[in-house]
Structure 1
Amino acid sequence: MAVVILYGSEGGTSELVADNIADVLGDYGDTSLYDMMEFDAGDLDPENFHVIVCSTYGEGELPTGAEPFFEGLEEDEPDLTGMQFALFGLGDKVYEETYNRGGEIMAEKLISLGAVQVGEHGRHDGSSSVRPKDQAEEWAKNIGEEFLG
């Protein structure tokens, strides 16, 4: 099973995190990495395992980098029955009500199209002293062992 990692970013942190996740999951087989700005929602393949890395922007919205992909999901409504995905979100607990909402919005859309979210929803807090890439690497190790190993 191939692993497809998709990231949606505003300032670039999601891309860096996705790179680290790709390094970890590369131990489990073919891994590819795509910017959501450049990935067609119709190309999602339920035969692949997907990892979504998504930040939160503004007042709990998707980052600009995730909007075209999300709009494609809304317009095309691909049948994602049987597709498994794991999600790592980035946010800041300073914004309690919208903390990591970007990732939640993406997960809700994928689930509504038949996909199944697996594993722990990784949530990095930008206010913490933990570097996002370090938390993402630990999260990815768990995902790899549990679902790809």
Structure 2
Amino acid sequence: MAVVILYGTETGNCELAADAISDVLAADHDPSIYDMSEFAVEDLDPADFLVVVCSTYGEGELPTGAEPFADELEAVAPDLTGLRFAVFGLGDTVYGETFNRGGEIIAEKLTARGATQVGEHARHDNSSPVKPSVQATEWTRGLLAVIETANV
């Protein structure tokens, strides 16, 4: 099973987290990493396992890098039944209720198309001393068993 990692970022932190996730997955899988702004919704394959890495911008909006993908999900409205995905979100608790909303928005759009979210929805807090790539590495180690279950 192929693992596809899509990241949507404003400042580049999601790309660093996606690289850390890929490093962990590379031992057992051959992950591919794409910027959401450069990935076509038509290329989503239910046979793949999808990892979404998405930040939150402003007051709970998607980052600029995720907007084209989200818009295309709405416009194309693909049937994603059978697609399993996990989300690693980035945000900052100083924004209160909109903390980590970007990852949630993408998850909602994918599930609305029939995809199934699995594993822990990780929520990195930029106000914490933990770097996103460090948390992403730990989260991915826990995700490995979920991916293997999806591979059965």
Q: Given the two structures, how large is their TM-score scaled by the length of structure 1?
A: 0.98
Amino acid at match of 2:51: V
Instruction: Name the residue aligned to 1:21.
Output: 21
Q: After TM superposition, give the deviation of residue 144 of structure 1 in Å.
A: 1.0
Instruction: Name the residue aligned to 1:34.
Output: 34
Amino acid at match of 1:98: T
Instruction: Name the residue aligned to 1:71.
Output: 71
Amino acid at match of 2:107: A
Size of the aligned set, in residue pairs, is 149
- Take 2:94 and 2:71, find their aligned partners in 1: how far apart are those partners? 28
Unaligned 5+ segments in structure 1 are none
Q: After TM superposition, give the deviation of residue 24 of structure 1 in Å.
A: 0.5
Are 2:2 and 1:2 equivalent residues in the alignment? yes
Q: Secondary structure at the match of 2:94?
A: coil
- Take 1:69 and 1:57, find their aligned partners in 2: how far apart are those partners? 15
Q: After TM superposition, give the deviation of residue 146 of structure 1 in Å.
A: 3.0
Q: Given the two structures, how large is their TM-score scaled by the length of structure 2?
A: 0.96
Q: Secondary structure at the match of 1:124?
A: strand
- Take 2:145 and 2:44, find their aligned partners in 1: how far apart are those partners? 23
Instruction: Name the residue aligned to 2:148.
Output: 148
Q: After TM superposition, give the deviation of residue 9 of structure 1 in Å.
A: 0.2
Deviations 1:67-126 (A, max 9, x none): 001111000001000100000000000111100000000000000000000000000000
Percent same amino acid among aligned pairs? 63
Cα RMSD (Å): 0.9
Instruction: Name the residue aligned to 2:53.
Output: 53
Q: After TM superposition, give the deviation of residue 147 of structure 1 in Å.
A: 2.3
Instruction: Name the residue aligned to 2:94.
Output: 94
